[in-house]
């Protein structure tokens, strides 16, 4: 006899208390394998796929796409044990929704892990659709959220893991069942989707017979709550955007930073010509390439060893400044989902080569939408290279609960007095925003001046790079 087990939204780690349902990966009536991802959710830290520890038939889903659920709220129920037909049949009242601890059978993995569930091959199992749909009478008497209209299943399963790949295809109206994956076991990669879109776009550009111009459509009256004026529908780009998910977390954190931290900013222009020349010489010597960001990070962590006040946090409850033993360096990375700040752990113990590799790895993971909550937390100091946006300066907001952030503008040729003569040099503006509770302007200015001196004369740090 089948048992109906309730799977709840697990603890996603790092103090997260809720998540938004982005996309259901199974429908009511689907057969799921143990540890198969069943729903894609977005937290304040990242987008994750949640695996279900039970194997059986999905009998109910709770929450529409776009709904926020707290940790511990029911996600779905699964009928386990017996044949698929028995699993779909109504269970006696005494056997409905037992606790997870009662499910000691082959249909339960026990792998309800914090954050991402089971790793390894089990997490990549894809959903299998029943050949015979479950009738409405076969669904047990648990609260059921109406499922979407079923879509005819393709000959084989769609092998997609990355939420970013699915979003790209969804936004561009591409049916992933028409895409051949080039990854392991037919996994569909971003390059496969982009290639399919390029083929489709080229086909769409083929000459076609001119169509008759459509008749002007009457102006509709905007629905209540969506007005942009006197009975005129909202123009494109207007309207209300919910502050939730990553954007909501960013808004909360920045607001808290502005509310709690009495910040101040100082800045200085520096001649980066010698730094750029040193980097070119290091890369010309062979071996892994070293990025400008890695050199700036190496300078930054060395400066923090001289000015440890800036690698600290404030314990407001105890009214204490907590100086931190290691530098975990956050850096701003722009992605399709917005700006995120991955953290390089133990940056003060890394070489420029190691920093370059870690920056590249975390940036790639960020753009793929696969950062874990651990990748985005634990920073003690942030390096913000806003020069990539083509701007010279900024007054960044401190990444709470840190005490400071170093901003780096674009490096551009400018007139500069060098060795008593006017010359064209590679100039960069550096800015430091700091928590005035942890230090005064003298300390902040000393830190920034030391960073600028190292940028202008990188030979100071050759032994540590």
What amino acid positions are annotated as catalytic residues?
A: 436
Number of H helices, E strands in the chain: 8, 19
Cβ atoms of 43 and 120 closer than 8 Å: no
Q: Structure tokens of 203?
A: 């086909």
The continuous run of DSSP H or E covering 320 comes out as strand 320-323
The gap from C-alpha 430 to its chain's centroid, in whole angstroms, comes to: 27
To the nearest 10 degrees (0 to 180), the angle between helices 273-284 and 292-306 is 120
Cβ atoms of residues 89 and 1 within 8 Å: no
Question: Residues 108, 44: contact at Cβ < 8 Å?
Answer: no
Q: Which of 436, 435, 423, 432 is nearest to 450 (CA)?
A: 432
- Are 447 and 306 in contact by the 8 Å Cβ rule? The answer is yes
Q: Residue 359 to residues 42, 229, 333, 364, 383: CA-CA distances in angstroms? A: 24, 47, 10, 9, 12
Q: How far apart are CA 78 and CA 101, in angstroms?
A: 15
Residue listed under structure tokens 């769609």? 158
> Of 406, 388, 421, whose CA–CA distance to 452 is shortest?
406
């Amino acid at each position: 006899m089948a048992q109906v087990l309730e799977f709840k939204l697990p603890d996603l780690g790092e103090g997260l208390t809720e998540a938004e349902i982005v996309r259901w990966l199974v429908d009511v009536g689907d057969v799921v394998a143990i540890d198969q991802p069943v729903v894609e959710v977005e937290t304040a830290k990242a987008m994750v796929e949640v695996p279900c520890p039970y194997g059986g038939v999905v009998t109910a889903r709770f929450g529409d796409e776009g709904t926020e659920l707290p940790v511990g709220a029911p996600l779905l129920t699964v009928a386990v044990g017996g044949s698929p037909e028995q699993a779909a049949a109504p269970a006696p009242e005494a056997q409905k929704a037992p606790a997870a601890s009662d499910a000691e059978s082959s249909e339960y993995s026990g792998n309800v892990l914090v954050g991402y569930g089971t790793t390894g091959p089990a997490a990549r199992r894809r959903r299998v659709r029943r050949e015979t749909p479950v009738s409405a009478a076969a669904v047990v008497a648990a609260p059921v959220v109406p499922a979407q209209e079923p879509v005819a299943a393709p000959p084989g399963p769609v092998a997609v893991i990355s939420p970013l790949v699915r979003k790209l295809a969804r936004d561009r109206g591409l049916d992933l069942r028409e895409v051949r994956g080039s990854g392991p076991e037919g996994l569909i990669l971003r390059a496969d989707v982009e290639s399919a879109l390029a083929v489709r776009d080229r086909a769409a550009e083929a000459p076609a017979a001119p169509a008759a111009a459509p008749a002007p459509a009457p102006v509709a009256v905007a629905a209540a709550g969506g007005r942009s004026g006197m009975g005129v529908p909202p123009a494109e780009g207007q309207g209300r955007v919910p502050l939730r998910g990553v954007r909501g977390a960013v808004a909360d954190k920045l607001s808290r930073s502005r509310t709690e931290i009495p910040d101040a900013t100082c800045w200085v222009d520096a001649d980066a010509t010698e730094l750029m020349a040193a980097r070119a010489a290091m890369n010309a010597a062979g071996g892994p390439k070293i990025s400008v960001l890695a050199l700036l990070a190496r300078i930054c962590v060395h400066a923090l060893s001289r000015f440890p006040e800036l690698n600290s946090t404030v314990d407001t409850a105890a009214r204490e400044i907590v100086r931190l033993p290691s530098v975990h360096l956050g850096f701003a990375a722009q992605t399709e989902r917005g700006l995120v700040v991955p953290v390089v752990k133990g940056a003060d113990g890394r070489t420029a080569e190691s920093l370059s590799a870690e920056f590249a790895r975390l940036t790639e993971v960020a753009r793929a939408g696969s950062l874990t909550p651990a990748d985005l937390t634990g920073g003690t100091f942030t390096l913000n290279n806003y020069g990539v946006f083509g701007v010279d300066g900024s007054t960044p907001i401190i990444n709470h609960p840190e005490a400071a952030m170093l901003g780096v503008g674009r490096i551009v040729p400018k007139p500069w007095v060098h060795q008593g003569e006017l010359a064209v040099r590679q100039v960069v503006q550096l800015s430091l925003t700091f928590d005035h509770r942890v230090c005064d302007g003298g300390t902040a200015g000393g830190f920034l001046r030391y960073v600028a001196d190292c940028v202008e004369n990188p030979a100071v740090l050759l032994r540590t790079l």
